[in-house]
Amino acid sequence: MDIQKTTGIVLSSKSVGESDVLCSVLTRDYGKRGFILKGLRKSRKRPQSVKEPGTVISLVYYFHPDRNLHIINECGIVESRREFHEDLGKIYTLSFILETVDKTTGEGTGETGIYPLLSGAIDTLAGLEEHVFLTAFFLIRLLKIYGLLPPFGVCAECGQRNPEKFHLMGADLKQLCERCAPPSWNGSLTRTAGPGYFSRLTERFIMHAQSYRFSKMPPEGYSAVEAKKLVLVLVGFLEGYFHIRINSKKFILSE
């Protein structure tokens, strides 16, 4: 049993018993871990906002390698995001990215890069107007960290480079030119409105997202309509790959 000190971003929380709170926290140093805040709901000394998703907290706790939950001895707020409460779009986007990380990251593990990615996304969201671009940008970067993002810029079947129009296969995110797209996607209706159909601008956005910081998004000319379609495909892939359901997707896709 060791005493560990770190900072972390609260991913989710729920009340248990009369006064305790269970929290899932993505820590800067140890990946995602589960914690118990004993007596928090009845405490007059500790701020209640330490349990709010998106809050950055400092924490001291005893680490037991054979346990999934650890009791927090000391905690404090490093950064709160209460200003998000005044913007419904920010609340929805924050909820989505937190839930996505929570449900795709294993307990006690955390791939290098997820913490700075999540922290950067939240910081950028604070001053952003069009939230769907950040959501798409975030998902692309997360998939790249997980090693799940295939190469882009060439048709996966025939090798055509930078096709003018292409489809993304929901099962594996392969990029296919119009000629190689499945027969079920033939016809004018699906070619212009299907969720897997995209213009070259989306290819540019995906390439851009892998190389630039959040402050550099989106590339000029990229539309919110295509960004929302891209989010739809990427979320569907994540849900299928990890066998999960991301409940907050309905809010960001309905904006």
Query: pLDDT class for 187, splitting at 50, 70, 90?
Result: very low
Element (H, E) at 122: helix 114-125
* Residue 115 amino acid letter: Y
User: 162: which residues sit within 8 A by CB, 6+ positions away?
Assistant: 153, 154, 200, 203
- Coarse DSSP helix, strand, coil percentages of the chain, rounded to the nearest 5 percent: 40, 25, 35
pLDDT at 109: 64
Q: Which residues pair with 198 in a beta bridge?
A: 166
Report the distance separating Cα 210 and Cα 112, nearest Å. Answer: 15
Q: What is the number of other CB atoms lying within 10 angstroms of the CB of residue 172?
A: 12
Q: pLDDT per residue over 131-152, tens digit each?
A: 899 999 999 999 999 999 998 8
Report the distance separating Cα 179 and Cα 199, nearest Å. Answer: 14
pTM of the model: 0.90
What number is the average pLDDT over the span 17-23?
Answer: 86
Q: What distance separates the 2 farthest-apart alpha carbons in the chain?
A: 65
Q: pLDDT per residue over 104-140, tens digit each?
A: 998 876 667 999 999 999 999 988 878 899 999 999 9
DSSP state of 127: T
Please give the structure tokens belonging to residue 136.
């798409």
pLDDT at 184: 60
CA dihedral (196, 221, 254, 251) positive or negative: positive
Please give the structure tokens belonging to residue 225.
């309509």
Q: What is the number of other CB atoms lying within 10 angstroms of the CB of residue 129?
A: 7
CA–centroid distance for 69 within its chain = 23
Share of the chain above pLDDT 70, in %: 91
Q: Which residues pair with 69 in a beta bridge?
A: 34
Element (H, E) at 80: none
Angle, helix 88-104 to helix 224-242, in steps of 10 degrees: 30
